[in-house]
Structure 1
């Protein structure tokens, strides 16, 4: 009841707006369910974060207002705090990682916030903001683990139940730290307990799901950064308490499913949701695929602060996320006419990618992408036909290294190369990051492979190969551990073995 009163009494509409619920006509038709989208992308900062930030700052005491506020954020919360504080005549300091894209830094300054850049990641910025706030006597505005912030986010639920009085099967809410889910679940479960409230997290950043399953908050070793707005290693203390009690379920979505949801939002509304904003819709589609049900399915589009440079990556992965594209590695005989026969076998299907290079020997490896109307059914039929022809087929549609790097490097073999180790790494997207990597590993090992593409994020994805003899592997691993960059060893990756490893 305390949260119900706090939500109904929340001060958000001095700066926030009541956002509409749009019916997603195309997606509703495909799923055979009534799919609705709550448009928090239409807020002044293009995100729901303005609600909680304003409600928290509006409730400061007079002395706290004179002193000012501080927060740590690389995106939407930063803009919400900056605009809210400016509207209320309060000075704000926003600590952001040095890897934050300039567009987000400029937005915070535009809304009146003082930007302080510190650290490579959110955890660094958060710790520094806490220290700086204590030194200056500033009030820290938490992005999610605060009752006033939770109550502000809960006003979305009030609007949903006012705007859609008909039957609702479930409301899908993206989860980072859990403030939005806690606020919405508190109100919906009080007023309409029959309505399911389902949290959605990225499969590589599911801190709330892990906490609920463990019965206590856990700290993830690492989180994926594609949906950076919800990339949180540990759920909040208060938000976990509420979500554990009130959420019906937490589902996850991978990068390809999120990209497909971004495309769905664009096709129905012509707006570009950020990955975290489309996350709840990705979870909704997974839920809808379980079978038919009654009532509307409502997803929260939590934000639209999309970096333009990231669109290329989203477009590449959306078809796979929709199960409309497959990637195959096919081994065919290296004989005259085999290339043509393989293309004939593909038939009239749309080829999205085709990488082939003749090599010495009896076999050739082909990297092929195909757009299919029904990937699950057609893939089985196509692979069966290839098996009949004696082709060896490896489905690499879910292979992250193949999708990010190897598809652009097919044919790059080095004859006679031995002891190659291949790593998939994440580098901070700032000058000097590569040099730091080279300094850390030293000059003991030669770099044999390097591939990088900018994906419009605050980190870079890199595939790197080094020639490391077996008796030096322990020393090499120690160097990597000391550096601290996230990485995966891909030396045994089958796609790498087919297309890049020296024979």
Structure 2
């Protein structure tokens, strides 16, 4: 991780806070010429599970299926004379900028990581039409960001940060304006996903002191969590790009300044595999399509069950740009998180009937999803890679108990990140 960077923690004056709220309301009002408010929907399914009054702020139902066009719109409307806008984005900010470029007739140049899902690249092209061009550069967002800023400096365009920009933060705060207008009274708790911090800081700044915030990040990109520990933004050593909409290696300096009155007690980090269980649950039970970052706030309810019981809660579903080609991976991760699927390497005795004995240990709800057997005639044992799915985690206890009792040698590689990712 990088060195200490101290953020400004001096509280803003009441006058400055009032000015921000007014600006956010003005931004929200101006947006109505472009798109309607996103729905705020009470969710009976989640409310019953958590014994709370759960509402979803459906940013996945915006024209670009994420909240990102809010910040892009607000920044662009404040610079009407600019003709060239440049951004770096893992997908959603790119789509927001592209949409606004075509709507306002402005030229846009968009830099995206090479790892961006194809669905987001295609949609960006559709939203921008002839007004935008796309460059795929960098495996990680921060590499893409550096390339975009260098290009922008050389070409003289206006760089539009996805989160570290006051106009963008102000635009994202329009979400809070809508929530305030859509509810009879504000919720007790609001659950916000965090990537670079633009949206969470804008919403928190507008609602500060009136609701309790819960800020949620993926474990593989917990840059705000690290900043709270460090006392300021710093670079993560490594970023897991699975939750691409929130896979940021360094929280924005401006967003952190607005969030720095909060602390680790307001922060949650969620395992990437577990997020997949929520993606599938919302798809299968509610017919709601969420991308990994969009499912963060809903998944966080599992960790704050006791806190939210009997209270009103708003979860912000930040995006629905899900590439269905990723569905097999999401299912795989979800099964592993729920302990319904495991991978093993066995040493199989090379004797007649050994495989039959092994298969006899499987229960009626166990299913072999992968089987590779490498037999070497000069050895007494062969190596077997096997993947097993079951309907209950307890079934593995019975299965492994029989293996132990019969002297089978095996290694569980399910949670071995390096080996599992190489083999599976």
Q: Aligned residue for 2:132?
A: 114
Q: Aligned residue for 1:42?
A: 61
Cα deviation digits, residues 41-74 of structure 1 (max 9, x gap): 11111111011111111112x4x33x33222224
Counterpart Cα distance in 2 of 1:34 and 1:319: 28
What SS does the aligned partner of 2:310 have? coil
State whether structure 2 residue 52 is matched by structure 1 residue 17: no
Cα deviation digits, residues 156-188 of structure 1 (max 9, x gap): 223334444478453222211111111222233
What SS does the aligned partner of 2:189 have? strand
Name structure 2 gaps, 5 residues minimum.
1-16
Q: TM-score, normalization: structure 2?
A: 0.83
Equivalent positions of 1:380-395 (< 5 A) are 380-395=397-412
8 Å contact 1:176–1:235 — kept in the other structure?
yes
Counterpart Cα distance in 2 of 1:29 and 1:94: 43
> Alpha carbon RMSD of aligned pairs, Å?
2.9
Equivalent positions of 1:323-472 (< 5 A) are 323-357=339-373, 359=375, 360=377, 361-375=379-393, 377-407=394-424
Cα deviation digits, residues 287-337 of structure 1 (max 9, x gap): 33x687331443222112222322221122222223433334444544433
- Structure 1 residue 85 displacement after superposition: 3.1
The verdict on how the C-alpha distance between 1:30 and 1:99 changes in structure 2, with shifts beyond 3 A counting, is closer
8 Å contact 1:277–1:304 — kept in the other structure?
yes
Counterpart Cα distance in 1 of 2:276 and 2:420: 14
Name structure 1 gaps, 5 residues minimum.
408-503
Q: Aligned residue for 1:232?
A: 248
Residue of structure 1 aligned with 2:170, choices 127, 151, 164? 151
- Structure 1 residue 363 displacement after superposition: 3.7
Residue of structure 2 aligned with 1:258, choices 271, 275, 291? 275
Q: Aligned residue for 1:283?
A: 300
- Segments ≥4 residues shifted beyond 6 Å: none
8 Å contact 1:167–1:294 — kept in the other structure?
no
Counterpart Cα distance in 2 of 1:297 and 1:386: 47
The verdict on how the C-alpha distance between 1:326 and 1:157 changes in structure 2, with shifts beyond 3 A counting, is farther
Counterpart Cα distance in 2 of 1:71 and 1:58: 16
Counterpart Cα distance in 2 of 1:268 and 1:54: 34
State whether structure 2 residue 257 is matched by structure 1 residue 241: yes
What SS does the aligned partner of 1:346 have? coil
Q: Aligned residue for 1:496?
A: none
8 Å contact 1:39–1:300 — kept in the other structure?
yes
State whether structure 2 residue 153 is matched by structure 1 residue 137: no
Q: Aligned residue for 1:447?
A: none
Counterpart Cα distance in 2 of 1:31 and 1:338: 48
Aligned length in residues: 399
- Structure 1 residue 223 displacement after superposition: 0.9
The verdict on how the C-alpha distance between 1:259 and 1:16 changes in structure 2, with shifts beyond 3 A counting, is same
Cα deviation digits, residues 173-224 of structure 1 (max 9, x gap): 22111111112222333333xx3x1222121111111111111211112211
Equivalent positions of 1:74-113 (< 5 A) are 74-97=90-113, 100=116, 103-112=119-128, 113=131
Residue of structure 2 aligned with 1:317, choices 313, 317, 333? 333
- Structure 1 residue 253 displacement after superposition: 2.0
